C-alpha cells in the first residue's frame, strides 16, 4: 500500500526528491528507499551509526519529519552537493575590486544551487566621490544590476533557478531609489528586496520626526521619517516589494549578538544570517501528530512531538557535518556556530483537526503553546548533544544567556545551558514548505492558512495527453474520511477569507518562540485602502514580529486564484476556481495571430559555431505596430544537414510564437537556458552553453537593437500588444513558467505553483 496520501505527493517525490541515475533510471525504488538513504547518510557521522539509523528512519517515516529539499534530494547520493538551502554572503567592500570579488563568490555559490542574500548598504551612494580617479560613484543599485545579470547567466548555464535577497538600511542615501527599483518590471527580476528598518526609524515615524540619510558619517539628505515610510508602503502596496525587516529587533534577540552582527537574510526572510552564514532547514509535520481528528477528544500528541523534535535536532546537527559547502568561509561559519532552523508545517491543518479557526485568539494561543514546546525540546536536545559531543565552538555562557531571545526561556532551560553549554547557537525557524508540504500529502504550508481546500490540476502524461486530477487539502480529505459528505464547519477558513490582522496575529504568536524568523505572507484584499494597508505593518511592528511581507493582488502583482464559498460537491467547502476549457476542445486561443504584411523589415545574422564546418544564418523579420517594431518571424538556415530537422522546427515554432503577439521575450530566456551535455564553446570571450543558446543570444541582440527589450539579460521594454489577451484576471493567477498552469500563488513570501511545486525562490 502506498505511503503517499495523494497522487501529487508521489509526483513531487519522483520529480524532486527521488534519487536517480543520470539517465533518469530510479535508484530509490520507493519512498521508503529515500527515507532509508537519508537516515543512513545522517547517521553515518555518529560514532555508532547503526544505533541511530533506525530512529532517524522512524522520524522520516510517514512524513512526520520533513528535512528541507536539499537534504531530502541530496543526502546519501554520493554527489558533491550542499545540503544547506541558502546563504548570506560576505560583507561587500566599498571598492571595485572587493565588489567583484564578492560577485565571484556569489556566482560560485549559485552554481551549486544556493540562494543568497546580500546587504548593499556598504556600497557608497550614487554621486559620492571616488578618491584617486576623479569620478563619482555609480551607487549600489548599479551593482545590483550586475548581480542580477550574473544570476540570469548562471540560470542560462543550466543550473537551477537562482534566488537572491537584497537588503538596504533605511538610512542609506540611496534608499529611495532602492525602494522604487522594482517598479521597473525589467529590472532586478532575480532579486527579492527588503528594507532594513531600525528601531530609531520606527520611533521617528511614530513621532513624525526628521530622518538623516548617512554614509560613512556624512549626512547626504534629511527627510521626514513618515514620508520615507509612506514611500516604502506605497511601493509595497503597488508592487509587493520591498519587504520590511526589523533589523535592530533581530540583532537584539539574536543568541549570538555578542559574536556577530546581522544585516541580511536568506531569500525568503526566515533566516537572518551573518556574513557567510548558511541556513539548514527542516520541519515537523503537525498534521501527522493529531489524534482523533474532528472529535471531542481531538488533540496533538505532545509526547510524540517532543520525541520527534529531539530526533530531528540530532539529524539536523549531523547534517552540518555531512554537508559540503560552496566556499570554505561558509563551512567555517557553519561549524563555528552550528546554526540550524527547525520549523513546522501543517499548522493550519492541525488547528482545523482540533476544531480551531485559524486567526482566532484560541488558535493563536494554541500555536504559541506548540511553538513553545518545540523550542523547549529543541534547546534541551541541543544541550544533550553538547554534553555528548561538545558545545558550538563560539559558545560563551554569560553573553549567550543575556541575549533577548534567551532571556525569555524557562529557567530550567537556561540552567541547563549554563551548566552544559549548547550544541547549536540557534535552533528554530519557520521556512517556506510549499514543495515538501505537497510531498507530505498537500498539508497546509508552514504556518500559513489553507490556501484552497481543493483545486483541479492538469497532469501531463507520457503520451503527451493531459489528465485532470483533484488535489484536496490534507485536513479536508481527513474530514471526508471521518465525516463523509457532511458540510465543512464554519471554522474552515482560508487565506482569502482571513483579515490581514488575523494573519499578523498568527505570525506574532509563532514568533515568540522562534529564535530566527518566519517566512509568512500577509494576504491583503485588492480593495484594501492604503491607510489600512499601512496599519498591517504597524501591527506587525507593535506585536513583536521580526519582519513583514504582504501580498495584495492587482494588475502589477497578478491575481491569485479566486475562491468560491460553495460548491455542488460539498456545501461550505471553499474551492479554487480554475478556468475550464471552452466547450468543444482543449485549445483556448489567447488572441488571433498577427496578419503578415506583404513586405517586412529584418536582419540576417551569421553564427559560426566552433568545430562546425558550416555557419548558421538567422533571419529575423519585424512588423511595425503603433510605431513600434516587434519580432514577427524567424528563418534559420544551414548547409549542415545534421542541423536540418531542428532548425526547421525552431523556425516554425518561434515564428508561431512571435505571430501571437504579446510579450515573447521569454523565447530568448528559454533558448539561452539550454545547455549541451557535450559542452559549449567560447565565442567572443563569452562561454555559450549550446548552439541553441547561441541562437537565443542572436535573437536577444536583435530584440535589443529594435528596442523591444531593454537590454541584454533584461525583459520587455515596451509592447503595444502586451494587453490584447482578454482573459478575466480575477479568475486565475499568473502562468507557471514550469508547467504552464495558471496556479501561481504567493506562499511564504514566494510565488509558488500549486500544480507542480515550482517556486520562484528555487
Distances (CA, A) of 131 to 102, 122, 144: 21, 17, 22
Question: Could you tell me if 566 and 572 are in contact, meaning their C-beta atoms sit under 8 angstroms apart?
Answer: yes
Domain count for the chain = 2
What average pLDDT score do residues 194-198 get?
97
Alpha-helix runs per DSSP H in 347-468: 347-353, 361-389, 397-401, 411-420, 434-439
Instruction: Tell which of 264, 280, 310 closes a domain.
Output: 264
Any domain includes 250: yes
pLDDT at 581: 33
Residue 388: predicted pLDDT: 97
In a domain, 300, yes or no: no
pLDDT for the residue 595 = 65
Mark which of 232, 264, 296 sits at the end of a domain.
264
Q: Nine-digit cell at 701?
A: 541582440
Task: Specify whether the CB–CB gap between 519 and 270 falls below 8 A.
Answer: yes
The answer to whether residue 499 sits within a structural domain is no
Select which of 85, 255, 266, 442 is catalytic: 266
Residue in 268, 524, 736, 756 annotated catalytic: 268
Query: Which of the listed residues 234, 264, 294 is the one where a domain comes to its end?
Result: 264
* Catalytic residue status for 565: no
Q: What is the pLDDT of residue 562?
A: 41
C-alpha dist (Å) from residue 129 to 122, 193, 361: 15, 26, 55
Give pLDDT tens digits for 66-95. 999 889 999 999 888 889 888 999 999 999
Q: What is the CATH number of the domain that holds 137?
A: 3.20.70.20
547 close to 247: Cβ distance less than 8 angstroms = no
Total count of residues recorded for the chain:
762
270 is catalytic: yes
- Confirm whether 227 is domain-assigned: yes
Determine which one of 270, 331, 448, 700 is catalytic: 270
Range of the domain at 219: 95-264
pLDDT value, residue 8: 85
Of 558-562, 674-678, 727-731, highest mean pLDDT = 674-678
| Dihedral Cα 530, 532, 534, 535, nearest 10 deg | 170
The owner of cell 528555487 is 762
* Residues facing residue 123 across a β-bridge: none
The answer to whether the beta carbons of residues 433 and 400 sit under 8 Å apart is no
Task: Give the mean pLDDT of 503-508.
Answer: 96
pLDDT at 575: 36
Radius of gyration of the chain (CA): 26
Q: How confident is the model at residue 567 (pLDDT cuts 50, 70, 90)?
A: very low
pLDDT the model gives residue 725: 34
Residue 719 has pLDDT above 70, yes or no: no
Q: What pLDDT is stored for residue 255 in this prediction?
A: 96
Which of the pair, 150 or 430, is modelled with greater confidence? 430
Average per-residue pLDDT in the chain? 85
Task: Provide the pLDDT for residue 589.
Answer: 37
Tell me the pLDDT tens digit for each residue of 278-337.
Answer: 989 999 999 999 999 999 999 999 999 999 999 999 999 999 999 999 899 999 999 999
Flag whether pLDDT at 439 surpasses 60. Answer: yes
Facing residues of 135 across strands? 130
318 vs 382: CA distance, rounded Å: 12
Task: Evaluate if residue 642 carries a pLDDT over 90.
Answer: no
* pLDDT tens, residue by residue, 370-380: 999 999 999 99
Mean pLDDT within 618-646: 82
Instruction: Check: CB of residue 511 under 8 Å from CB of residue 518.
Output: yes
Model confidence at 593: pLDDT above 70: no
pLDDT of the residue at 311: 98
In a domain, 72, yes or no: no
3-state secondary structure of 713: coil
Give domain status of residue 443, yes or no. Answer: no
pLDDT category at 162 given cuts 50, 70, 90 is: low
* 755 in a structural domain: no
Per the domain annotation, does 696 fall within a domain?
yes
494 catalytically annotated: no
Q: List Cβ neighbours of 6 (8 Å cut-off, separation of 6 or more).
A: 441, 442, 471, 472, 474, 477
**Candidate from 129-138, 250-259, 328-337, 502-511 with smallest mean pLDDT:** 129-138
Q: Residue 762 pLDDT more than 90?
A: no
First to last CA, the chain: 32
Amino acid at each position: 500500500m502506498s505511503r503517499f496520501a495523494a497522487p501529487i505527493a508521489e509526483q513531487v517525490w519522483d520529480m524532486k526528491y527521488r534519487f536517480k541515475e543520470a539517465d533518469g533510471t530510479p535508484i530509490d525504488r520507493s519512498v521508503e528507499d529515500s527515507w532509508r538513504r537519508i537516515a543512513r547518510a545522517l547517521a553515518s557521522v555518529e560514532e555508532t551509526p547503526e544505533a541511530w539509523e533506525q530512529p532517524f528512519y522512524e522520524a522520516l517515516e510517514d512524513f512526520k519529519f520533513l528535512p528541507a529539499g536539499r537534504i531530502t534530494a541530496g543526502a546519501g547520493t554520493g554527489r558533491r552537493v550542499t545540503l544547506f538551502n541558502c546563504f548570506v554572503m560576505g560583507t561587500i567592500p566599498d571598492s571595485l575590486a572587493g565588489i567583484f570579488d564578492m560577485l565571484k563568490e556569489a556566482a560560485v555559490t549559485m552554481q551549486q544551487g544556493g540562494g543568497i542574500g546580500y546587504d548593499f548598504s556598504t556600497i557608497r551612494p550614487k554621486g559620492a566621490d571616488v578618491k584617486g580617479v576623479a569620478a563619482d560613484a555609480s551607487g549600489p543599485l548599479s551593482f545590483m544590476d550586475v548581480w542580477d545579470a550574473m544570476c540570469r547567466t548562471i540560470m542560462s548555464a543550466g543550473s537551477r533557478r537562482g534566488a537572491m535577497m537584497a537588503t538596504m538600511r533605511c538610512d542609506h542615501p540611496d534608499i529611495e531609489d532602492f525602494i522604487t527599483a522594482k517598479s521597473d518590471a525589467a529590472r532586478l527580476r532575480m532579486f527579492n528586496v527588503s528594507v532594513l528598518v531600525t528601531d530609531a526609524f520606527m520611533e521617528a515615524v511614530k513621532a513624525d520626526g526628521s530622518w538623516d540619510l548617512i554614509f560613512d558619517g556624512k549626512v547626504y539628505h534629511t527627510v521626514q521619517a513618515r514620508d520615507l515610510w509612506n514611500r516604502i508602503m506605497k511601493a509595497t502596496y503597488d508592487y509587493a516589494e520591498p519587504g520590511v525587516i526589523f533589523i535592530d529587533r533581530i540583532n537584539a534577540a539574536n543568541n549570538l549578538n555578542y559574536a556577530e552582527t546581522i544585516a541580511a537574510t536568506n531569500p525568503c526572510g526566515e533566516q537572518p544570517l551573518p556574513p557567510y552564514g548558511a541556513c539548514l532547514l527542516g520541519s515537523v509535520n503537525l498534521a501527522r501528530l493529531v489524534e482523533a481528528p474532528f472529535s471531542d477528544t481531538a488533540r496533538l500528541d505532545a509526547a510524540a512531538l517532543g520525541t520527534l523534535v529531539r530526533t530531528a535536532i540530532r539529524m539536523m546537527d549531523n547534517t552540518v557535518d555531512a554537508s559540503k559547502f560552496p566556499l570554505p568561509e561558509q563551512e567555517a561559519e557553519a561549524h563555528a556556530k552550528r546554526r540550524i532552523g527547525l520549523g513546522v508545517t501543517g499548522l493550519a491543518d492541525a488547528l482545523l483537526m482540533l476544531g480551531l479557526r485559524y486567526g482566532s485568539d484560541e488558535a493563536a494561543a494554541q500555536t504559541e503553546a506548540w511553538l513553545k514546546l518545540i523550542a523547549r525540546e529543541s534547546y534541551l536536545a541541543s544541550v544533550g548533544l553538547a554534553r555528548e559531543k561538545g558545545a558550538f565552538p563560539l559558545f560563551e555562557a554569560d553573553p549567550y544567556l543575556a541575549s533577548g531571545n534567551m532571556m525569555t526561556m524557562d529557567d530550567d532551560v537556561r540552567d541547563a545551558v549554563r551548566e552544559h553549554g549548547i550544541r547549536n547557537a540557534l535552533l528554530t525557524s519557520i521556512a517556506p514548505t510549499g514543495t515538501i508540504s505537497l510531498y507530505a500529502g498537500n498539508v497546509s504550508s508552514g504556518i500559513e492558512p489553507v490556501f484552497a481546500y481543493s483545486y483541479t490540476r492538469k497532469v501531463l502524461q507520457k503520451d503527451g495527453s493531459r489528465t485532470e486530477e483533484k488535489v484536496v487539502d490534507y485536513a479536508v480529505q481527513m474530514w471526508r474520511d471521518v465525516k463523509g459528505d457532511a458540510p465543512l464547519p464554519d471554522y474552515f477558513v482560508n487565506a482569502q477569507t482571513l483579515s490581514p490582522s488575523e494573519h499578523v496575529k498568527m505570525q506574532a504568536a509563532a514568533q515568540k518562540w522562534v529564535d530566527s524568523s518566519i517566512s509568512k505572507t500577509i494576504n491583503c484584499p485588492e480593495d484594501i485602502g492604503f491607510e489600512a494597508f499601512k496599519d498591517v505593518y504597524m501591527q506587525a511592528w507593535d506585536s513583536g514580529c521580526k519582519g513583514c511581507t504582504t501580498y495584495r493582488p492587482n494588475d502589477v502583482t497578478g491575481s491569485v486564484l479566486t475562491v468560491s464559498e460553495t460548491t455542488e460537491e460539498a456545501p461550505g467547502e471553499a474551492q479554487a476556481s480554475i478556468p475550464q476549457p471552452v466547450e468543444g476542445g482543449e485549445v483556448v486561443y489567447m488572441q488571433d495571430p498577427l496578419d503578415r504584411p506583404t513586405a517586412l523589415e529584418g536582419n540576417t545574422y551569421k553564427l559560426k559555431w566552433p568545430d562546425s564546418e558550416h555557419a548558421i544564418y538567422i533571419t529575423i523579420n519585424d512588423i511595425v505596430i503603433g510605431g513600434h517594431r516587434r519580432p514577427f518571424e524567424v528563418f534559420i538556415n544551414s548547409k549542415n544537414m545534421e542541423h536540418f530537422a531542428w532548425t526547421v522546427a525552431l523556425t516554425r515554432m518561434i515564428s508561431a510564437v512571435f505571430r501571437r503577439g504579446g510579450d515573447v521575450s521569454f523565447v530568448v530566456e528559454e533558448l539561452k537556458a539550454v545547455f549541451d551535455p557535450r559542452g559549449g564553446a567560447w565565442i567572443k570571450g563569452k562561454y555559450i552553453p549550446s548552439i541553441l543558446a547561441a541562437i537565443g543570444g542572436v535573437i536577444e541582440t536583435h530584440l535589443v537593437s529594435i528596442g523591444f527589450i531593454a537590454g541584454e539579460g533584461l525583459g520587455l521594454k515596451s509592447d503595444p500588444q502586451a494587453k490584447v489577451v482578454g482573459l478575466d484576471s480575477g479568475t486565475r493567477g499568473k502562468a507557471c513558467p514550469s508547467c504552464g498552469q495558471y496556479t501561481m500563488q504567493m506562499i511564504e513570501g514566494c510565488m509558488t505553483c500549486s500544480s507542480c511545486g515550482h517556486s520562484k525562490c528555487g
